[in-house]
Amino acid sequence: MFKQINELFCYFSINKIELINLKIMKKISALCIGLLIAGSLSAQTWTIDKVHSKIGFSVTHMAVSETEGNFKDFDASVVSTAADFNNADVTFTAKVASINTENERRDGHLKSPDFFDAEKFPEVTFKGKLVKSGAKYKLQGDFTMKGVTKKVEFDVTFGGTVDTGRGVKAGFKLVGTVNRQDYGLTWSNKTPGGELVVGDVVEITAKIELDKKA
C-alpha cells in the first residue's frame, strides 16, 4: 500500500515539474517571438532608386585636369531603426563590368588587370554604418575593391525624406576619396615631364535616392 502511494506521489510530482517547465518554456518562447516581432516592426528597409541615383568618381588626368566616370549597374540597401537614419546598416555593390567613362577604349583598360581586373574581381562592395555627426553624417565601414578590403569613412549629407503620395523617399549625397594604389590598381604611366597619367587619389561622389520598402 505504501509503495503504491509513494509511486503515485512520484508520478504527480514529476508531472507537476514537467508542467511547470512547459509553462516556463512557453513564456520564454512568447518573449522571444515578441522581441522578434518588435525588432521587425522597428527596423525599416530602404532600397535604392537606380533611375534617380548615380555612383560617380573622378581622378586627375595628365596632372592638369580630371576624368569622370560612373557605374551603370549597382545596388544598395539601407536598414534603419531610426527616422534620422543614425546607425543605419548600409550595403552596396557595383558591377565592375558596368564602368563607364564615355570612352570605350579607356573603359576596356579600366576593366583589365592593370586596374579593376573585372573578370577576376567582378564587384566593388561596401558594408558598414551611417553615423550621425552633428548636422551631417559619416558613412563608415569596409570598402572592397579588387579583392582588397579596407576601412573607409565618407562624408554624407542627408537631404531628408518626402512622401510622394506613391511612397516615401529619402535622399543622400556622399563624398569621399580612396587611394587606388591601396587596392592594387597600380598602373602608373607617366608623361614626358614625369607627371602621372592617372592620379592615385580617386574622388567618389554618390547621389542616392532611396525608396522605403512597403
Phi, psi angles (nearest 5°) of residue 74:
-155, 165
Buried b (16+ CB within 10 A) or exposed e, 50-59: eeebebebbb
Question: How far apart (Å, rounded) are the C-alpha atoms in residues 128 and 91?
Answer: 7
Which helix (H) or strand (E) segment holds residue 1: the answer is none
Statement: residue 104 has pLDDT above 50: yes
Per DSSP bridges, beta strands 198-212 and 54-61 are antiparallel
Give the DSSP letter of residue 184.
Answer: T
Q: What sign for the dihedral angle of Cα 157, 125, 105, 112?
A: positive
pLDDT in tens, 49-98: 999 999 999 999 888 889 999 999 999 999 999 999 999 999 999 999 99
| C-beta neighbour count of 208 within 10 angstroms | 22
By C-alpha distance, which of 176, 184, 205 is closest to 71? 205
* Contact present, 124 and 145 (Cβ < 8 Å): yes
pLDDT in tens, 162-187: 999 999 999 999 999 999 999 999 99
